[in-house]
Structure 1
């Protein structure tokens, strides 16, 4: 190596451990959007090779969904390349937001910070991505070609948390929207996302940005510092990034301050305006708000008590004189003194009850999150082992997130308790419950308790080290061996009432002028407050709250190790080029350990399900191979004809072995047209939580027992009647016990891998335009993806039906293996609704991409367009079910797209973006007539405009961007309650912007 070199000389060009490739018939013509404009892209980790002729650009390796090094920038599958500078112009504040944007996701809903109040895989605060409308576990996320390990909290950790990705050091993101398990192994079913970091950083870069919403909340702040150096034999770069998003509450957006039914009257075909069927609150004269449940009418009651049926005075809007639900009213002096009836008896309209508490508007609409990210990578040229390079990569990330919720408290006062006032002493509300110490409940108080808080803290560490170089005995062959270790450690805290403490506090005796806990061994016990109007209204003694209301914490750990070794090179020559191959092996081992709080494990969280620990591990050994054959080149009608084939064999400890394959081809009849296609299979090994999820217990009404009235003449001779009789159940049987439902992992049930078939084919057009007309590239790609044996839960009702209606009742296999033998005393059922292989998922459609560039005046214009059209988004649970096609329904639009327009003039740049989500309608799916339906089940086309201006001072090395995202402050559309999950009155769907108009600014400086 020359001692006077001013540039690091890399080792032999690395194996392309890549996700996606650029479809180009010529080196300077792009077939996809947002690809590099001025020169071919190199791999993120390796500097471009030196050349003795500085005027000649040497060919370098690009990522291309293949392990074979290429020199023609071609791929058999469609891709999208997003440059970070374009993301900054659009006002995105993190890599996570870029990945969840319309251009990448095709308009499909993603789990983001708006899901903090819902149960999601990875826990609250996690951001994930799933391509083609599939779950995040079916899309593989890579960083510089190596797997990103899952991270998060709670037992269901199975996908990479996008919060862990670096921001400022990212160069580009490449997205392969095609199955690729034969190249990358498990999880690459719907596609692969590869985040590629910058390289050869020889300066110090400082970036700062801020985004502030017009209506408050959801502000984003970023600061980053990056630097590096390159010497003769080494290269190194590192970055620190701080990213923070402030929380946003329901009170901060007008469309979430009052969650109404938003339905209309419909009588004999005559319909009213939307909202005309909504209940008018008799206390306010306005439409009734239901912000507690988030689903609409009949929200959980507050400020109310429950008794047995008593005689009293009706509240405004109630009818009759007998009630079992009451609201305090000091002016009532007859009947039940001090209370007015709001439910039960002759009253059928329960909407007269209180459901609204102003504190519900403190609930989180958009979770606050803070990320600290440290990233470093580098390499050392060893000069031995085939001019080998020892390379390494380190990623450290800490994510802190939190949410505010709202809790209603059902406080059960024991029959005969001195805490019950005299006029209610005769009431018996129910039999014993888990807080009544084996005694009947006299009165239940439905109390609006107030806000609760939950938080998550996740520390993620990922290290990679490897060696790559040329095989000394075979100069045309390279090798690459690497080890990646990732570890996530997350803690999750939540506030909850503790059942045992509630029970202790409600079991009281008189003590002086007050009350004391009867259980003297209950350390620190504070007696529950006497039942009063103030207590029913949520005014609770702080000492008692401090005793029964506690913060409980769980811990989630996830570890993954991946060792990969491969070789690539030329096998032999053919008339039109070298036949190339790549071969290798990979070993993966992962482990999950989720330990919920002891109170959760012991079923001591009041009115919440219990959770057992989730613990398990798995490992796999893969062998893979790929070959590429140049069939024809530079001939009439065959500018290029290349075929590619790959295969992988995987052996998993959990379920056995599997194999996949993929065939692809590129045919360019002329320089302006390229035809491409691929066909293959992929698979997904069950995630650890799907195998080992700790059991959570719930209950289903006894009315769902399939053997109720099994001897009914209408069922005579049916498999169900025969099966129920075989269990010794008497004629006229009626279940008296609830059905116990245990949700758990499916390892014991024989869970297997999901399999899929994927095909894509398309055409790329790059016509040569007249001089001065610019350049244009067009591509149309058809995708067809079918997943079989999908890992899912069947549901308790489905399991019982399939079991008891089966002629092979209680035989090996089948759904009866999920139903325990009946309790010998009570005949009660227990159903294990574990993860099993059931579902079929289908996604079919087209990707359309276009790019146009031209010199306009003294500047350069560039226009990029990406559009996705779905022809089918279908699903079925069982093989003999009909497919449910959700295509075009609310939350699953048929069309989506993004248009980006950039114009650069000297130091100035202007940018405009239009994101589009197609209109949706679920009327046909639910058999409703849109002209007369009482429900609003459709949304209009949704357009989101953004614009920015940038200035780049190349002399003083600084750049500034200022812009507006959601330029016209477009709000989410409105739908009726009762069908889909909503946020306020809008669908729960990430394709709509919840933040509203926001201003953003970004400033960067290079030293």
Structure 2
């Protein structure tokens, strides 16, 4: 995989960077070309090959070998990277694609393009991470991943690390690229097919192909004015077809937590009616004891449909020997659709008139007569009824992004250089939610009466004039729903919003050795950078009245507006001090220092700093170590979001059911009365209410990152480079809310201070209704609470060898081992070991070992063949149900240079069609799961096949 940028290649090889190999035949020539470069994590230019911070690199060739249609699909395969929001997210989708280093959260991962920030991806909740959809894969030169704190260099958010996308900005010529890709899976899981079939649900069998993805890109560029300037322009188009969960046998039903039965929902087409302590469903026009289980999974998207346009340009022009101006303009329009199961009445409690004309005699007897109620009386009934007549809900999400950079850089003289730029980014979001129902209209439609003038059944609201459009909803009889009723109750919901970012930044860098400032033991002098930066972040999220008032039946509560901004003024410096050079056992010893002071408009100030050291014993052995203090200031939603209800997943309410698992005394602490104990109806979908909200007084979270490592390039094995790095990240005052399940369990266990956060509803439940004041819920607001500590090892090895007349072979391996991943909900809480675990308070899986190895054969026949092995270790279920077995994937790819300017590529990822590990219903949207598994970690859709063509002029 020969790179065009020889300078970067030589540096990368010496650092032990992944996903790149150097041919022995060209290594010596490239080493002679080394000159000063900037590597992610510092602004100091260096000609030495000792990097004090470990950086993993992915080159453009890797995007080709993976057949990358979406940048997140390749990035999530890196052992250090996880994915929360991605193309497989349906329920809870923001329409963005985010990166999450070390599984510490996307808000703690700073994403850069050419060393400068990307904006928050969406004004939607959970959309605060940068949206990498806006990055065109065809224009990426390389990606540099620095894990661990980097706030002293880049400011807030770089707690888990930095992902820097370096783009082609000096292209010459015209390049057209097209790729078609598709997923295919053999549905042959006999066990799960039987599980689904035994539940009475359909399932797919045999081969299924679909989820087609088409990518077009055009790049044009050229130099002008005798090479003093260059403009590189690009345009891309991507079209993605939907895949439903019904297309895979392992997602054909929502499995239970043990994976041996279908879970489903009690909000069903036959309805679930809770009358006192009794539960009924409708068969014909009769009440029958017990609920029906509705299979809500098959209609959910496993891959969202998507249409994306991007375009932009990179330009530079050398005005004179001291001034070069540069600019970047990028645009993205991305529209996607997230589909989930139909809406319905999710636990509404209407008062049903005993003379409701839709009720049969048997139903009237159960509801009224048996209770001594007459025709003029009413009976409160909890109704859970699925609106299958109205079709699935779908959320149409559109994000339009503009980003512009303009700056000046150059050399003042031989000693000093500068870089000053301004950046503006804006993300505009349109969110249209279709096919939800209005709770108000549902209640109107259930209040059916006989029109005394016509004898027709109508709504009481029609007769009293309060809603003359109402159509009565007959859910008391199989097949009794008038399609007009479903149409009447439908409530479209709309939300609009923007995020925007302004950055003004500049620095001055100098070589103080020109003034004689150097140590006697070194040949080179001290390098320094001093600079300042101003950044303003704004967010405006404006939902319509239906969202704000919580009128949408399937929303789980009100969606409230958020509007706010903050700005920060920062001053920073870096210094690189050569301590020893050209000495015995010390070819080079360098000390790097960094400091940044930040003053936020929220009355918060922070100091971040770092110290890094590199020691080249000789050409073959290099040591490095670093310490970084990093911070993350609260984002706008964390500061200013209003309080509102949301949903969390839990196996069961310990105080619900006829035989609660918690004692009466323990449940009493959570608000359960003696009469309610043993008679509380539990959630049929394993989802419960919690109250969330922002906190304007929340302080920045802090982290300490340590790393120690070495780079080994043995003389006796030519073209082998191995780097080994140990790291430790400890986060304190983490901005978080206590887990609702944690709060409940703490209260049950005797923590009375948290019992006030458990607020049960009128029936003793924690799930019915969506009214923030009256519904049962757990209060879990944001604060500086969490403590997280992670330790592990990263091992990267690169090797290349000549095969003589048979070409050459390169091997690149990246291994990540986690030895500690501890978290505490708050500093006084028990430590939860999340290493190699998932579920409970740990949520998303954290495998303790991930490995990626690529072997590439560069043949003498204009063909490059490559194979990749990906390994993810076993993950244990903390709930004791479904452990996730280790996974091994094999990817095969080939590139054929048909002509000098034409290349064809094809490949298959997950060649053996490995199914994803099954996690069941516990892999819900609240922990970024979908389809009974975790698409952000595993290959969830089967084989991925692609065919691409690149033509250059």
Verify same fold: TM over 0.5. yes
Is contact 2:20-2:57 (8 Å) kept?
A: yes
Cα distance in 1 for partners of 2:864, 2:708 equals: 36
User: Which has the larger displacement, 445-454 or 971-980?
Assistant: 971-980
Displacement of 1:368 in angstroms is 1.7
Residue of structure 2 in register with 1:252 after alignment: 247
Displacement of 1:842 in angstroms is 1.3
Is contact 1:757-1:786 (8 Å) kept?
A: yes
Displacement of 1:804 in angstroms is 13
Cα deviations by residue, 1:656-708 (Å, 9 ceiling, x for unpaired) = 10101100111111110000010120000011111111221479999999xxx
Cα distance in 1 for partners of 2:381, 2:726 equals: 65
Residue of structure 2 in register with 1:585 after alignment: 532
Cα distance in 2 for partners of 1:39, 1:848 equals: 22
Cα distance in 2 for partners of 1:901, 1:201 equals: 29
2:490 matches 1:549: yes
Is contact 1:154-1:596 (8 Å) kept?
A: no
Residue of structure 2 in register with 1:1001 after alignment: 947
Cα distance in 1 for partners of 2:823, 2:582 equals: 45
Cα deviations by residue, 1:537-575 (Å, 9 ceiling, x for unpaired) = xx6322221111122111121111011010001123324
Cα deviations by residue, 1:299-355 (Å, 9 ceiling, x for unpaired) = 544414526479xxxxxxxxxxxx6414415xxxxxxxx536333xxxxxxxxx432
TM-score for both structures, normalised by structure 2: 0.82
Over 3 Å counting, the alpha-carbon distance change for 1:27 and 1:639 in structure 2 is farther
Displacement of 1:740 in angstroms is 9.9
Residue of structure 2 in register with 1:498 after alignment: 438
Cα distance in 2 for partners of 1:985, 1:843 equals: 29
Structure 2 counterpart of 1:851, from 793, 798, 814: 798
Displacement of 1:262 in angstroms is 7.4
Over 3 Å counting, the alpha-carbon distance change for 1:703 and 1:863 in structure 2 is closer
Residue of structure 2 in register with 1:75 after alignment: 51
Cα deviations by residue, 1:253-311 (Å, 9 ceiling, x for unpaired) = 12111444474xxxxxxxxxx84xx5xxxxxxxxxx33x45xxxxx544414526479x
Q: Does the residue aligned with 1:425 lie in a helix, a strand or coil?
A: helix
Displacement of 1:800 in angstroms is 9.3
Displacement of 1:155 in angstroms is 3.6
Over 3 Å counting, the alpha-carbon distance change for 1:958 and 1:713 in structure 2 is closer
Structure 1 counterpart of 2:417, from 475, 478, 482: 478
Residue of structure 2 in register with 1:507 after alignment: 447
2:112 matches 1:142: yes
Q: Does the residue aligned with 1:939 lie in a helix, a strand or coil?
A: coil
Q: Does the residue aligned with 1:251 lie in a helix, a strand or coil?
A: helix
Q: Does the residue aligned with 2:868 lie in a helix, a strand or coil?
A: strand
Cα distance in 1 for partners of 2:78, 2:864 equals: 23
Q: Does the residue aligned with 2:947 lie in a helix, a strand or coil?
A: strand
2:741 matches 1:787: no
Cα distance in 2 for partners of 1:196, 1:915 equals: 25
Cα deviations by residue, 1:870-906 (Å, 9 ceiling, x for unpaired) = 0011110121122101111242111010010111123
Displacement of 1:130 in angstroms is 0.8
Q: Does the residue aligned with 1:81 lie in a helix, a strand or coil?
A: strand
Is contact 2:169-2:314 (8 Å) kept?
A: no
Is contact 2:50-2:622 (8 Å) kept?
A: no
Q: Does the residue aligned with 1:128 lie in a helix, a strand or coil?
A: coil
2:370 matches 1:394: no
Displacement of 1:841 in angstroms is 1.1
Cα distance in 1 for partners of 2:774, 2:395 equals: 40
Map 1:448-459 → 2, pairs under 5 A: 449=388, 450-459=391-400
Q: Does the residue aligned with 2:298 lie in a helix, a strand or coil?
A: helix
Cα distance in 2 for partners of 1:39, 1:652 equals: 51
Cα deviations by residue, 1:204-261 (Å, 9 ceiling, x for unpaired) = 1000011112222322211000001112332101101112222111111121114444
What are the ranges of 5 or more consecutive residues in structure 1 without an aligned counterpart? 1-20, 42-52, 264-273, 279-288, 294-298, 311-322, 330-337, 344-352, 431-436, 706-711, 821-825, 929-934
Displacement of 1:505 in angstroms is 2.7
Is contact 2:287-2:362 (8 Å) kept?
A: no
2:911 matches 1:972: no
Is contact 2:271-2:475 (8 Å) kept?
A: no
Residue of structure 2 in register with 1:598 after alignment: 545
Over 3 Å counting, the alpha-carbon distance change for 1:605 and 1:713 in structure 2 is closer
Over 3 Å counting, the alpha-carbon distance change for 1:492 and 1:70 in structure 2 is same
Map 1:921-936 → 2, pairs under 5 A: 921-922=876-877, 925=878, 935=881
2:77 matches 1:101: yes
Map 1:169-184 → 2, pairs under 5 A: 169-184=139-154
Residue of structure 1 in register with 2:340 after alignment: 405
Residue of structure 1 in register with 2:886 after alignment: 941
Residue of structure 2 in register with 1:534 after alignment: 478
Over 3 Å counting, the alpha-carbon distance change for 1:506 and 1:895 in structure 2 is same
Residue of structure 2 in register with 1:362 after alignment: 299
Is contact 2:68-2:137 (8 Å) kept?
A: no
C-alpha RMSD of matched pairs (Å): 4.0
Is contact 1:413-1:420 (8 Å) kept?
A: no
Displacement of 1:616 in angstroms is 0.9
User: Which has the larger displacement, 87-96 or 508-517?
Assistant: 508-517
Count residues with an aligned counterpart: 857
Is contact 1:153-1:458 (8 Å) kept?
A: no
Cα distance in 1 for partners of 2:738, 2:929 equals: 27
Cα distance in 1 for partners of 2:368, 2:50 equals: 73
Residue of structure 2 in register with 1:229 after alignment: 222
Residue of structure 1 in register with 2:270 after alignment: 303
Residue of structure 2 in register with 1:335 after alignment: none
Residue of structure 1 in register with 2:719 after alignment: 775
Displacement of 1:115 in angstroms is 1.9
TM-score for both structures, normalised by structure 1: 0.78
What are the ranges of 5 or more consecutive residues in structure 2 without an aligned counterpart? 1-6, 185-207, 370-375, 657-662, 682-687, 760-772, 839-844
Displacement of 1:371 in angstroms is 1.4
Residue of structure 1 in register with 2:769 after alignment: none
Cα deviations by residue, 1:104-159 (Å, 9 ceiling, x for unpaired) = 52xx4533222212x3xxx4322111111110010100000000001225244311
Q: Does the residue aligned with 1:845 lie in a helix, a strand or coil?
A: strand
Over 3 Å counting, the alpha-carbon distance change for 1:543 and 1:985 in structure 2 is closer
